[in-house]
A and B are shown apart, each in its own frame.
Chain A
């Protein structure tokens, strides 16, 4: 089941808005894309495929996500940079109860203070999205990175 056209359209818009929001620096809105107890994880492909639990970033619930944003805005120290997400076409599988399993490949280009724009992260989003009253939210978003290696550091969510 690939889901009805209306749901597919809602999901497509939702996934695009999430990426554009991060690119535009609207990080305070980031936890709001998740269900209250939603899960967000960034993990390497190697660790994910080995079935091991510790990736690079892990949040359980909006509270932990808000803490991440607060920390990067007030506590963490790093060279300022921006992201530009490029998304592939989503593959959507409908499950019972308004729940969808979605895979979207992505590429994130990072621009640093010296003006260089370089590919920073490439991988896939493996999402569980629930649509309630027409409003989609991530119950789960796993960001599986192709590479085990991060250049410099990873502070903004992908």
Chain B
């Protein structure tokens, strides 16, 4: 039976009375909840990241991806329009596009040679009229009723976004004003690709959604941040939540560091590393914005984050690959008008993040440690009370889990966990 509401769960889940300051461990490992998320979230009223607009620059370009577990094709037609559709032939249900990227006039299913145009409309059926007057499809077969299942598409700040739901508001309204403005700051001019890789992490996708919103851990677990004074909680910084709490920004201003004694007094692991770099070119950077923000992570519900660390701009996209597996993509980008020296600095700072990132590689395993720690205890729950119990923006402190509470606020609402 397909799960479509929380009432379909074999074992009901009652959210703890303490609200979003408590996170039931069961949410990370229950296959039924995972199946329900596919319907309610990924087929629900959200904008899913499909690809970057620069992935499909020319007419006929396509790129395959997934929305949740549903295979998707994003295309650009001959007139420049961007479309998205489920990568599943209307005939037998086979994948139509097998390659990750390509350029084609028609999208052909190899199984029985049905073909579709770049808008997903059925254009050709092999032996439609049979052979020698025999066989073939019935005369009343209506090709217009057998398109590839379409998604609604919007291109916003160079991101190709798709949704299955008619209830999803425009991207601008979905993200809200503060989020949209910051996306324009970071992605508001023509981009150029710099490189891509992915990481398979052995944890539920929501652990990464929390992790990327977790401003509290960032400078404790990731020693490199702290020691090289890239991002510390004693820099001026804060958390901005979207009006509906689903999305958030964590930001810091490097020039404002006022060393707090707590880092040394509490013998925090992350300040024990000697800070003399033998290759200081790693951190060559230039101030790119007048607002003084030198580090930001913008988390966008459900599975997207935009990172701007010094000059390293990266779109992080994480895809559920099963209840306890997530593929995390790192799309590094620069601006089309970057000069050679600027590109070189972005390349060098690429070392900070990604699967080998000096300030991010720990995230490859830390969420797995939570997965392994919690999977045998579905009735237990995690705690998120740093910074209080409210779900509000935090102007001057990032020693808070308010963004995480914001994620769970959105999650509860869309899943309808009372």
User: Which A residues are within 8 Å of any B CB, using their own CB?
Assistant: 42-44, 46-47, 50, 52-68, 70-71, 74-79, 148-155
Of chain B, the residue at the smallest CB distance from A78 is: B365
Task: Given A52-B194, A54-B194, A149-B197, answer yes or no on A76-B358 (Cβ-Cβ < 8 Å).
Answer: yes
- A122 nearest CB across to chain B (Å): 15
The yes or no answer to B155 lying at the interface (CB within 8 A) is no
Contact B273–A71 (Cβ < 8 Å) = yes
Of chain A, the residue at the smallest CB distance from B366 is: A77
Q: Which residue from B282, B346, B361 sits with its C-beta under 8 Å from A67?
A: B282
A53 CA / B345 CA spacing, docked (Å)? 11
One of B108-116, B219-227, B380-388 contacting the partner: B219-227
A60 CA / B352 CA spacing, docked (Å)? 14
Contacts of A60 in B (CB 8 A): 279, 281, 348
A148 CA / B200 CA spacing, docked (Å)? 10
Besides A43-B195, A61-B279, 5 more A-B contacts (Cβ < 8 Å) are A50-B193, A54-B332, A56-B354, A75-B223, A75-B270
Q: 10 interchain pairs (CB within 8 A)? A: A58-B350, A60-B279, A65-B279, A67-B279, A74-B223, A148-B197, A148-B198, A150-B364, A153-B199, A153-B356
- B28 nearest CB across to chain A (Å): 17
Contact A66–B197 (Cβ < 8 Å) = no
User: Which B residues are within 8 Å of any A CB, using their own CB?
Assistant: 193-202, 221, 223-224, 227, 269-270, 272-274, 277-282, 327, 332, 343, 346-348, 350-351, 354-356, 358, 361-362, 364-366, 368
Contacts of B365 in A (CB 8 A): 77-79, 152-153
Of chain B, the residue at the smallest CB distance from A52 is: B195
Contacts of B198 in A (CB 8 A): 148-150
Contacts of B358 in A (CB 8 A): 68, 71, 75-76
- A140 nearest CB across to chain B (Å): 15
Contacts of A70 in B (CB 8 A): 273-274, 278
Contact B200–A151 (Cβ < 8 Å) = yes
Contact B197–A56 (Cβ < 8 Å) = yes
- B71 nearest CB across to chain A (Å): 17
Contact B200–A58 (Cβ < 8 Å) = no
Contact B347–A56 (Cβ < 8 Å) = no
A66 CA / B279 CA spacing, docked (Å)? 8
Contact A150–B195 (Cβ < 8 Å) = no
Q: Which residue from A44, A53, A57, A75 sits with its C-beta under 8 Å from B351?
A: A57
Contacts of A77 in B (CB 8 A): 221, 223, 269, 362, 365-366
**B224, B269, B350, B361: which has the most chain A beta carbons within 10 Å?**
B361
Contact A55–B197 (Cβ < 8 Å) = yes
